[in-house]
Amino acid sequence: MKFGGTSVANVERIKNVAQHVKREVAAGYDVAVVVSAMSGKTNELVAWCNEASPLYDQREYDTIVASGEQVTSGLLALTLSSIGIKARSWQGWQVPIETSAAHGSARISAIPSKNLDDGFAAGEVAVISGFQGIEPLSGRITTLGRGGSDTSAVAIAGAIGAERCDIYTDVDGVYTTDPRIVPKAQRMDRIAFEEMLEMASLGAKVLQVRSVELAMVHKVKTYVRSSFDDPENPNPGTLICDEEDIMEQQVVTGIAYSKDEAQITLRDVADRPGVAAAIFVPLADANINVDMIVQNISADGASTDITFTVPQAEFQRAKDVIEKARKDVVCDNVETNMDVSKISVIGIGMRSHAGVAATCFQALAGRGINIRAITTSEIKISVLIDAAYTELAVRTLHTLYGLDKA
């Protein structure tokens, strides 16, 4: 069971979480609980780091920001004990959750389960601080990046051979799109790992991308549920599972969107071998994630326009990298636009149905929405549009593919 920041925002909410845990213990399960920091605490700790030293040591940063989860795990263990449930808190280094040395964005390398198994044998609920681990060689505390508690939970579920992993949040499942934009959005009973991976990476904020990757690789059945449900009678939530576990697959499962996009266009680039590498290798070396890429060849074949997108948070760095690369890339000028958004249509059923892209483009054109760039995969179509049309595009496509109906 994993509980996010809003689920443990204060002691009253932690007492509610304890009732959810009590229900599963009463059902006869050995229970491991992964907790996030209280809502807003990590931001407060990050602000303190910046105040103390804007050019902080990433290792000490991890030590500081990991403390938020430590408080929550102790409070939940205390609360469980007060209602007669044997429990103990575990920090990442105590489990141990072993990770790489990439402080601030470490990856889990191994989770020996002996300590947790011994605790289960003693009848204890394991309350584990999420988001954190330990780098074995240095013995330093590491953190897994924002949303890392989801990853902690799925990895621990895989390590202990859990029957399932329940991710509790402030929504009662995965919806066909954002219900704040489309009131008719429907909660899905099931969604395939591949679809959830696309939705998470394309803007849906329900789960961290790496947690879905881990669940898919280790075949961990994962539920998204609401901690705000009645602990005695909770809703089942949405099951994220193998494609084979879904009886009938819709053509389109969901519509995702992201406003966190910035567009960069290089005009009249000299069209010769190595130009693309001269642009994108420096961006990769700077750890800037490039998403959509569109290249247009001019009529004379001598020049080309190259358009690509980066996250808004990386926009200024990407622009600086491109300016430095211009000594190797001959181009007329560089145009930028931060007022764009990405809309994505996702569904495993698209593999076996033709015309999904055509109907998408036709519907957007009918609403007067211009498409700036397009990327596709087997199970998704993404289009880049002007940000002002985001909500109209999401509503249009949600209705087009029949997702308004239960």
Annotated binding site: 2-5, 42, 69, 169-170, 175, 180, 205-206
Residue that the structure tokens 């575990």 belong to: 90
- Within 10 angstroms of residue 236's Cβ, the number of other Cβ atoms is 12
DSSP string for 117-133: HHHHHTTPEEEEE-SEE
Q: What is the maximum alpha-carbon separation in the chain?
A: 79
Question: Which residue, chain included where needed, has tokens 């289960």?
Answer: 120
Helix, strand, coil percent content, the chain, rounded in steps of 5: 40, 25, 35
Q: How far apart are CA 165 and CA 156, in angstroms?
A: 9
Residue 396: Cβ within 10 Å count: 19
**φ/ψ (deg, to 5) at 74:** -65, -45
383 vs 343: CA distance, rounded Å: 5
Binding residues for substrate: 42, 69
For residue 194, the number of C-alpha atoms closer than 13 Å in the C-beta half-sphere is 17
Query: Are 272 and 306 contacting, i.e. CB atoms less than 8 angstroms apart?
Result: no
Q: Which residues are annotated as a binding site for ATP?
A: 2-5, 169-170, 175, 180, 205-206
In DSSP terms, 169 is beta-bridged to: 226
User: 121 exposed, middle or buried (CB, 10 Å; 0-12, 13-18, 19+)?
Assistant: exposed
How far, in Å, CA of 74 to CA of 87, rounded? 10
Enter the tokens of residue 65.
């920001």
